[in-house]
Homo-oligomer: A and B are copies of this chain.
Amino acid sequence: MNDPLMTIIQQVISAWASQNKLVTQFFNQYPEADYEKEVAPGRNRAIYLLGHLVAVNDGMIPLFDKGDRLFPQLETPFLKQPDKASNEFPPIAELKNQWEVLNNTLAKHFDEMTASEWMDRHTAVSEADFALNPRRNKMNVLISRINHQSYHLGQLILLKP
């Protein structure tokens, strides 16, 4: 495993895994009711951000051509709608469980993907567009999802007493 391409791919996957761990730790830290709080006055509640991370990350399954989303029911409340548009959020325990199931599923896919699969187009880009811009590959999706997750992790952390 001294192929530099696989080394970088594994480094990106490992950055992803260590972030997931931080999110999990954060949501195991406080009493459940605390996650109903806004991260800053008038901003998203922690429970919304957890559902949002599950919904965004779940989108990688179809983008990577690995089947359908695991939790399509989260798309409307956590992707299409902003926080507080609906009061019908699942209980935090259910979201935490979905977070774990999704991470395990993604980890398994990532582990099995070859370098050429990572460097190939994601399903939202056509072959013609990909030929014009070969950076629109699956690796790019993962890099952008990692940044998205760091962004919201920086907000979640503000809830710390």
Give the interface of A toward B (CB within 8 A): 2, 4-5, 7-12, 14-15, 19, 39-41, 43, 115-116, 119, 134-135, 137, 139-140, 143-144, 146-148, 150-155, 157-158
Contacts and interface: CB of A to CB of B under 8 A. Distances in A.
Contact of A147 (B7, B41, B119, B146): B146
Q: Can you tell how many copies of this chain the complex includes?
A: 2
B40 A10 contact: no
A139 B14 CA distance: 13
A109 B5 CA distance: 21
A160 to B, nearest CB: 10
A40 B40 CA distance: 5
Given A7-B137, A12-B143, 4 more contacts: A7-B135, A8-B12, A8-B139, A15-B144
A73 B102 CA distance: 45
